[in-house]
Amino acid sequence: MTDQGTLFGPIIPPRPKRRRAPPRQTTVTVDREAIAAAAAGRIGGEPMIADAVRAARPDVRNVVVDLGTIRWTDPKSRRRVTFDTPATVREALLGFACGDAPEPFRFILGRAARVTHGD
């Protein structure tokens, strides 16, 4: 069908394109209790950040944090989502490795750097 319409009917306007929802941002807060637990040696720096991400996004699974990336699996869509590690998290992890406990902080995970589809 073109802009001319049908033989006996008016021009049918094209369907509007579906808009994608804006990317969901996740605000993650690393609180004083988590930092104190990590400083006491009960957990490490990376698990401290991973626990904070799990608290902010309880719907995701298999959260992994390192100096380069933060990754998780969304069980609903079966996608592995990868984010670049924000600078504040890198600084906190490096300082924690040197023995300096960071102050409580918060960071935002915006758009994913990579999304891998599961089988």
What is the model's pLDDT at position 37?
Answer: 86
> Would you say residue 34 has pLDDT above 70?
yes
Domain range summary for the chain, segments of one domain joined by +: 26-117
For the segment 91-113, the average pLDDT, to the nearest whole number, is 89
Kindly report, residue by residue over 66-84, the tens digit of the pLDDT.
999 999 999 988 899 999 9
Q: Give the chain as a DSSP string.
A: --TT--SSSPPPPPPPPPPPPPPPPEEEEE-HHHHHHHHTTSS-HHHHHHHHHHHH-TT-EEEEE-SSEEEEEETTTTEEEEEEPPHHHHHHHHHHHTTPPPPPEEEEE-S-SEEEE--
What is the model's pLDDT at position 10?
Answer: 67
pTM of the model: 0.75
For residue 100, count CB atoms less than 10 angstroms from its CB and return exposed for 0-12, middle for 13-18, buried for 19 or more: exposed
